[in-house]
């Protein structure tokens, strides 16, 4: 009986994964595989992620920054330094050039923000699917979030997370907010 329940649970989980993948518009999948992967693995992104990883911030320090981040209504010094780094300038340029991109942020190998096109609601993404499923314990995998209505831009957006890869190993992630209504 336990064996049957395990098999049933596995098959149900697999079916839900397939259903979720089927809900991702083909245009978004093609964009992720062709363009977003290229942007996520540009030299400026890889260099920024490597530099952050080399700082080897402890999880306790990351969570401390995250708490301060979430309790700050404006911009503190850490937010300003992230928003004004070279990698963030690259992300802001991508958002300007591509109307279907509404936000982009980069994380290190622990899910801490490295760069962002605009302020995120929190600093640490490491406990969220957009990081854990994309980073995939260093194996890297494109992860598609749920298509949802974004009040701030008044349109449907899907978050697509792409691994930043060096030497065949994921070293970080980039999450793109894609406005599906603006895809050609």
Distances, alpha carbon 18 to alpha carbons 14, 147, 178, in Å: 6, 15, 21
**Whether pLDDT at 12 is above 80:** no
96: left (phi over 0), alpha (psi -120 to 50) or beta: alpha
Q: Is residue 20 part of a domain?
A: no
Higher pLDDT, 166 or 184: 166
Q: Is residue 121 part of a domain?
A: yes
pLDDT band at 157 (very low <50, low <70, confident <90, very high): very high
Q: Is residue 18 part of a domain?
A: no
166: left (phi over 0), alpha (psi -120 to 50) or beta: beta
Range of the domain at 131: 25-182
pLDDT digits (tens, 9 = 90+) for 96-122: 999 999 999 999 999 999 999 999 999
Rounded to two decimals, the pTM is 0.86
Q: Is residue 6 part of a domain?
A: no
The per-residue pLDDT for 15 is 32
pLDDT band at 143 (very low <50, low <70, confident <90, very high): very high
**β-strands 148-150, 143-144 pairing:** unpaired
Q: How far apart are CA 4 and CA 177, in angstroms?
A: 40
Q: Is residue 13 part of a domain?
A: no
Q: Quote the number of domains for the chain.
A: 1
CATH number, domain containing residue 105: 3.30.450.20
Residues in the chain: 184
The percentage of the chain sitting over the pLDDT mark of 90, rounded to a whole number, equals 77
């Amino acid at each position: 009986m336990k064996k049957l329940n395990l098999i049933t649970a596995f098959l149900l989980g697999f079916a839900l994964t397939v259903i979720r993948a089927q809900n991702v518009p083909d245009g978004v999948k093609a964009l992720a595989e062709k363009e977003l992967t290229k942007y996520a693995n540009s030299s400026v992104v890889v260099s920024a992620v490597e530099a952050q990883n080399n700082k080897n911030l402890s999880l306790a320090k990351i969570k401390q920054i995250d708490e301060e981040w979430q309790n700050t209504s404006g911009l503190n010094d850490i937010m300003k330094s992230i928003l004004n780094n070279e990698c963030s300038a690259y992300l802001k340029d991508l958002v300007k050039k591509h109307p279907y991109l509404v936000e982009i942020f980069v994380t290190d190998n622990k899910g801490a923000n490295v760069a962002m096109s605009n302020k995120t609601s929190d600093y640490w993404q490491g406990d969220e699917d957009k990081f854990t499923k994309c980073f995939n314990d260093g194996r890297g995998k494109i992860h598609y979030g749920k298509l949802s209505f974004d009040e701030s831009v008044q349109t449907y957006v899907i978050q697509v997370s792409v691994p930043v890869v060096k030497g065949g190993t994921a070293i970080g992630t980039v999450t793109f907010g894609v406005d599906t209504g603006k895809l050609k």
